[in-house]
């Protein structure tokens, strides 16, 4: 195991109360006792770990000394520091991707700006649940297992695309438990260990996680995948992935001409192209959502979701693709998940015809919060560069110096969780960026900006930028 991976497994180690060395030792102790750091695992040298975590070397030395006194680690001159005991088989796959830490390790005193999703169900959703209750109460002779999704919702999603000018049949839709499951199913369907994937750099961390979970080799291109044809000839990828509307994290939007060229190029070189439309309906007032790439090629595979547009707790996603691909995905899904929540799917089927109206109603508030956070950052952190976007939920912020990974640790110690740019970039770039979301109420965003400013005031970057974290810890 690369010692730098150990630092990425630490997660939000510094968010508790007490001396930093004690918090660091406590986190390492838990990772060792839980088997996440098995016997024989090399730990980073004092100076390396201190630089990575943006703390003093004495903090790491004190933590290591404490763990050594407990017999959990062994330190020998010339051979470094390792977890005590004989090496064992490697642990099960787990994620240490920072974007998931809001969910895996929530902290009451931390303002989460990393994982973005609506936190309040809109009134339209509760109305839709109320409408389907009589149908649910009258259900008989139906065990509720639908690996491809409930027929009503599949028809509603197909109609959603037809209304956007894209002919779509019921057989071309697979309902999933959120967009993340859709990406995971596609990765499992198309990828074998060692296969290549072309994707934007930077790009969506959940997508990176899904592809790397299948042991794929990811090659990054600029947003919009320019040079796709040449990259396809060089790398012979099994899959390509793009976010054409409100690219995550940059917020860019591809023009109709660029969309056509991209879809046609992917078809010409024979590379399955996945377009992620999870954020596509999140335009601010006056923004008109462009047609999907699927409008220009039948070979495009489209992923959508209601979790980002409606409510994070509405775990409804989908894949729109050719019917044979949908059938294959359904067979893969059935092994792990016999079908999603039927009441949620029935409510989603009621909601789909109203989706554009719901998003339009909520757009002014999102725009106001976007403007508020940018104004607070400009007031308190004028050296930061936070370009405005035309929609979505996040800002892609460039720091004037230092790196996002070490600053994220400093920000966490001041009670704000942010997403370092290096973890979103398969090329190892974007180290000078962070991603923050603006979905909180204005008062919370004001406090978050104040804490970030205080963290920046005390921030001392390491001599060398911290390397990009691995998306999957194995």
DSSP string, 235-274: H--SEEEE--SS-TTT-----HHHHHHHHHHHHHHT--EE
Q: How far apart are CA 458 and CA 414, in angstroms?
A: 10
CA torsion 280-354-350-179 (nearest 10°) is 10
Predicted pLDDT of residue 449? 98
What would the two tokens of residue 443 be?
């008062």
Phi, psi of 343 (to 5 degrees): -55, -40
Segment (H or E) for 465? none
Predicted pLDDT of residue 93? 52
Please give the sequence-ordered ranges of beta strands (E in DSSP) within 58-193, or none if there are none. 73-76, 80-83, 111-112, 173-176
Residues whose CB falls within 8 Å of the CB of residue 316, separated by 6 or more in sequence, listed in order: 153, 175, 176, 177, 178, 305, 306, 307, 340, 344, 345, 348
Residue 218 DSSP one-character state? E
CA torsion 119-123-126-128 (nearest 10°) is -120
CA 344 distance to own-chain centroid? 23
Predicted pLDDT of residue 472? 38
Give 10-residue mean pLDDT values along the chain (474 residues): 62 77 87 83 87 86 89 83 69 51 67 92 96 91 91 98 96 96 95 92 92 90 95 95 97 96 96 97 95 95 96 96 95 88 96 96 98 98 97 97 92 93 90 97 98 96 60 35
Q: How far apart are CA 248 and CA 437, in angstroms?
A: 11
Helix 442-458 × helix 404-413 angle, to 10°: 110
Predicted pLDDT of residue 97? 55
Q: How far apart are CA 36 and CA 23, in angstroms?
A: 17
Longest dimension (CA), the chain: 73
Predicted pLDDT of residue 92? 46
What would the two tokens of residue 254 be?
């591809």
pTM: 0.80
Judge whether 277 and 392 are in contact, CB under 8 Å.
Answer: no
Neighbours of 18 (CB within 10 A): 9
Predicted pLDDT of residue 6? 72
**For the chain, the helix, strand and coil percentages under 3-state DSSP, each to the nearest 5:** 45, 15, 40
Predicted pLDDT of residue 29? 87
Judge whether 31 and 116 are in contact, CB under 8 Å.
Answer: no
Q: Is 303 helix (H, G, I), strand (E, B) or coil?
A: strand
């Amino acid at each position: 195991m690369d010692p730098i991976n150990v630092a990425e497994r630490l997660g939000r180690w510094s968010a508790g109360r007490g001396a930093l060395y004690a918090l660091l030792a406590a986190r390492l102790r838990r990772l060792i006792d839980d088997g996440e750091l098995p016997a024989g695992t090399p730990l980073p040298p004092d100076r390396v770990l201190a630089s990575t975590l943006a703390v003093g070397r004495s903090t790491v030395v004190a933590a290591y000394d404490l763990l050594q006194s407990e017999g959990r680690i062994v330190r020998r001159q010339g051979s470094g520091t390792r977890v005590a005991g004989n090496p064992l088989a490697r642990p099960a796959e787990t994620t240490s991707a920072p974007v998931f830490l809001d969910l895996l390790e929530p902290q009451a005193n931390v303002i989460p700006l990393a994982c973005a999703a609506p936190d309040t169900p809109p009134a339209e959703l509760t109305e839709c649940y109320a409408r389907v209750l009589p149908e649910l109460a009258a259900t008989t002779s139906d065990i509720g297992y639908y690996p491809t999704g409930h027929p009503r919702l599949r028809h509603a999603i197909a109609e959603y695309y037809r209304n956007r000018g894209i002919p779509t049949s019921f057989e071309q839709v697979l309902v999933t438990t959120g967009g993340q499951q859709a990406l995971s199913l596609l990765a499992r369907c198309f990828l074998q260990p060692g296969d290549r994937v072309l994707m934007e750099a930077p790009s969506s961390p959940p997508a990176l996680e899904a592809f790397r979970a299948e042991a794929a080799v990811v090659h990054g291109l600029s947003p919009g995948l320019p040079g796709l044809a040449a990259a396809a000839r060089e790398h012979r990828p099994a899959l390509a992935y793009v976010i054409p509307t409100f690219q995550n994290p940059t917020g860019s939007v591809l023009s109709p001409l660029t969309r056509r060229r991209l879809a046609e190029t992917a078809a010409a070189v024979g590379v399955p192209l996945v377009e992620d439309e999870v954020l596509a309906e999140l335009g601010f007032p006056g923004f008109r959502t462009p047609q999907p790439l699927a409008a220009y090629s039948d070979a495009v595979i489209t992923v959508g979701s209601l979790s980002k547009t409606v409510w994070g707790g509405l775990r409804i996603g989908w894949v729109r693709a050719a019917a044979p691909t949908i059938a294959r995905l359904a067979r893969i899904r059935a092994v792990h998940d016999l079908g999603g929540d039927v009441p949620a799917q029935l409510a989603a089927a009621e909601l789909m015809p109203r989706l554009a109206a719901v998003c339009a109603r909520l757009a002014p508030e999102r725009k106001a919060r976007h403007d508020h956070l940018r104004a607070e950052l400009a007031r308190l952190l004028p050296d930061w560069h936070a370009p405005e976007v035309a929609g979505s939920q996040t800002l892609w912020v460039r720091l004037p110096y230092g790196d996002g990974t070490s600053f994220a640790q400093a920000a966490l110690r001041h009670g704000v969780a942010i997403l370092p740019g290096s973890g979103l970039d398969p090329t190892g770039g974007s180290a000078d960026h962070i991603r923050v979301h603006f979905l909180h109420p204005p008062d919370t965003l004001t406090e978050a900006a104040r804490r970030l400013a205080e963290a920046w005031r005390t921030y001392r970057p390491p001599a060398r930028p911290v390397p990009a974290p691995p998306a999957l810890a194995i």
